[in-house]
Chain A
Amino acid sequence: MGAVTYPDVRVVEFILENLIPLQVKSNAQPIASDFNVKWTPTLVTLDSDGKEHHRTVGFLPPEELVPSLLLGIAKCHFDRERYEEALNVLNKLLESYPKSDAAPEAIFLRGVSLYKSTHNPKPLKEAYEKLQAEYPSSEWTKRAYPYRLIP
């Protein structure tokens, strides 16, 4: 990550604008135990209270790190029931990185966020239909499978 991904100008600009970067050794205590770190790199998105919302383990290239970080930011909003903010971030992810590994989960979370903010179940079905059409083998398509039955 330090040799390839973090020096990338897209990553630098994204982190400068959107996140507070914190880097610690994987054997640093008590923080490594507090976060149950077993392998590196482990990347965790925390809110300003230190609560975890998103985690990845393993190398990510620049074109996958930025959408993964966007997903983490969206989850920070979603978990705090700030659905409009979550939707803004998820839409940005899906517009800018539609082929990224984070995209299927973003589609799923966008459907749930729309449902939670409107109580209209139709976005859940639309999320499933989009996942089925564009990512038929994704685990998120399987998780959304029951939504196909929404009238």
Chain B
Amino acid sequence: MAKTFQWEDSLEKALARAKAENKPILLDFFNPQ
């Protein structure tokens, strides 16, 4: 099974993880259509 990553969908959750894991955030705005 191919390795993958899970996107966060909430800025608040991403910020909490970023602080906890001491990592920056990659924020991707995508076209929903």
Contact = CB atoms under 8 A, between A and B. Distances in A.
Contacts of B4: 7, 12
Given A20-B17, A21-B7, A21-B8, A32 B29 contact: yes
Given A9-B3, A21-B5, A48-B15, A43 B23 contact: no
A83 to B, nearest CB: 17
B26 A35 contact: no
A7 B3 CA distance: 9
Interface residues of B, number: 27
A24 B27 contact: yes
A111 interface: no
Interface of B: 2-11, 14-15, 17-19, 21-32
Interface of A: 1-2, 7, 9, 12-13, 15-16, 18-28, 31-32, 35, 37, 40-50, 53, 69, 72-73, 76
